């Protein structure tokens, strides 16, 4: 029986898998009726097991005792990845947690096709970390170890936007893949002749949808929890700024699970006692006591999506304080994301510069990745490439389709 190679797009927010069947990509439903699986893990303390995807999100919403983790891809290449952490009766690294998630993907794929799968073509961003070659290299080492621990004996990486270019379909001339995912923004410039695709340049920057969420949270929510406030000195009449670190961690999906602890709670209570405006920091204490960080992050994400559609998004913070519902308008969203969008636009232009191609020569711009649907990105790209036709097809599965086509080469 020939070896089947699995294509896996392990994303910051969602994961997809596909195989090559007769030269075509076939998506594997990792959850019933769905093309993607939320990249989420819940370590259930009560049942002493681990659940994944939608079930992990449901466990968090249900208030079950345990630890919820999302955006784990973002910790690859950092010191967090290999630190042993105590989760109830288990002491594991986040590398091992990611490996458990990938092993679950492998198991579900094997069940779907009825055969063992030991080989994988895995997507990876152009850069896990911008401007940090050592961390960038270490992130691929970490991810390779995750796949090995998950049970794959052969691991081949392919740049995610190049996989999307392969899946772009028939076309002529120069095209640009704009892949805005949960953690990175990646670009591939390619030339197509109707049959083959020639890669001209690939480039990327570590900015994605989770950074959009963080920026919105820092601008609209964290000031309500005390960020930017002042503390009275315990002795004397002077004042000091509230330290910002806790708010930045609480706004970052990948760090929320690790902000809870006795020391952090003690520090927050101390700040609330010394605060010039204690009510705000008392809200922070409530978030830490009740471990509401992920609830807050989901509320921000939901408001972002609503505001991006032109409606008014409501950030529901009612669990923190009754009646606390800050509103987000499209203009608020555009302002919060402006600096990130500028950096994404600069990275797109740098991709063209690498290949020596001008913006007016780009005939197609193909958006992939869920965060490419953000209006500020769409608007920026339309201005940058005035002669291009724009496509939004298969934003969530274009990468895995290309990986499956590449996997067929390996089979």
DSSP of 241-279: EPPSHHHHHHT-GGGGGGS-SHHHHHHHHHHHHHBSSHH
Distance CA 50, CA 68 (A): 10
Would you call 46 exposed, middle or buried from its count of C-beta atoms within 10 A (0-12, 13-18, 19+)? exposed
101, 147 contact by CB (below 8 A): no
What local confidence, expressed as pLDDT, does residue 86 receive?
85
Chain mean pLDDT for the chain:
94
**In this model, does residue 409 exceed pLDDT 80?**
no
Phi, psi of 9 (to 5 degrees): -100, 90
User: Domain 5-167+395-410 - what CATH class?
Assistant: alpha beta
Place of tokens 């001339």: 173
DSSP symbols for 181-231: -SS-EEEEEEEEESS-EEEEEEEEES--HHHHHHHHHHHHTGGGGTTT-EE
Would you call 144 exposed, middle or buried from its count of C-beta atoms within 10 A (0-12, 13-18, 19+)? middle
Query: At CA 83, angle to CA 104 and CA 136, rounded to 5?
Result: 80
Q: What is the pLDDT of residues 299-317, one digit of tens each?
A: 999 999 999 999 999 999 9
Q: What is the pLDDT of residues 380-405, one digit of tens each?
A: 999 999 999 999 878 889 999 999 99
What local confidence, expressed as pLDDT, does residue 410 receive?
57
Distance CA 182, CA 379 (A): 19
**In this model, does residue 2 exceed pLDDT 90?**
no
361, 355 contact by CB (below 8 A): no
246, 218 contact by CB (below 8 A): no
**In this model, does residue 171 exceed pLDDT 90?**
no
**In this model, does residue 170 exceed pLDDT 80?**
no
Indicate the domain borders of the chain: 5-167+395-410
Q: What is the pLDDT of residues 27-85, one digit of tens each?
A: 999 999 999 999 999 999 988 899 999 999 999 999 899 999 999 999 999 999 999 98
User: Average pLDDT in the 339-348 region?
Assistant: 96
pTM confidence score: 0.93
Q: 92: which 2 tokens? A: 């594991």
12, 123 contact by CB (below 8 A): no
Distances, alpha carbon 151 to alpha carbons 35, 49, 79, 106, 117, in Å: 23, 19, 24, 8, 9
């Amino acid at each position: 029986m020939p070896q089947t190679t699995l294509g896996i797009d392990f994303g910051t927010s969602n994961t997809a898998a596909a195989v090559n069947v007769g030269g075509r990509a076939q998506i594997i439903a990792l959850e019933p009726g769905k093309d993607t699986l939320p990249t989420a893990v819940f370590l259930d303390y009560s049942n002493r097991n681990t659940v994944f995807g939608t079930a992990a999100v449901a466990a968090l919403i249900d208030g079950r005792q345990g630890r919820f983790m999302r955006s784990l891809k973002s910790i690859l290449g950092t010191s967090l990845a290999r630190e042993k952490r105590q989760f109830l009766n288990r002491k594991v690294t986040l590398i091992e947690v990611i490996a458990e998630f990938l092993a679950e993907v492998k198991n579900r794929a094997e069940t779907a096709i009825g055969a063992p799968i030991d080989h994988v073509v895995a997507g990876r961003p152009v850069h896990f970390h911008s401007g940090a070659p050592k961390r960038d290299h270490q992130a691929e080492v970490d991810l390779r170890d995750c796949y090995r621990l998950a049970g794959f004996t052969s691991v081949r990486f392919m740049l995610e936007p190049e996989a999307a270019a392969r899946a772009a379909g028939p076309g002529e001339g120069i095209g640009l893949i704009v892949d805005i995912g949960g953690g990175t923004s990646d670009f591939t410039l390619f030339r197509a002749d109707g049959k083959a695709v020639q890669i001209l340049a690939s480039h990327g920057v570590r900015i994605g949808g989770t950074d959009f969420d963080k920026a919105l949270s820092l601008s609209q929510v964290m000031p309500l929890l005390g960020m930017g406030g002042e503390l009275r000195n315990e002795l004397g009449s002077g004042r000091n700024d509230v330290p910002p670190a806790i708010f930045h961690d609480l706004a970052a999906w990948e760090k929320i699970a690790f902000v809870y602890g006795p020391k952090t709670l003690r520090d927050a209570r101390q700040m609330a006692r010394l605060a010039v405006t204690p009510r705000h920091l008392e809200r922070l204490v409530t978030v830490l006591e009740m471990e509401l960080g992920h609830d807050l992050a989901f509320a921000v994400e939901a408001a972002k999506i609503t505001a991006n559609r032109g409606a008014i998004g409501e950030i529901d913070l009612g669990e923190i304080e009754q009646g606390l519902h800050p509103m987000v308008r499209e203009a608020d969203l555009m302002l919060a994301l402006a600096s990130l969008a500028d950096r994404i636009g600069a990275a797109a232009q740098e991709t063209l510069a690498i290949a020596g191609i001008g913006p007016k020569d780009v005939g197609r711009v193909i958006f992939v990745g869920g965060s490419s649907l953000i209006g500020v990105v769409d608007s920026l790209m339309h201005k940058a490439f005035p002669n291009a036709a724009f496509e939004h097809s298969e934003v969530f599965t274009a990468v895995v389709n290309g990986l499956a086509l590449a996997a067929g080469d390996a089979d």
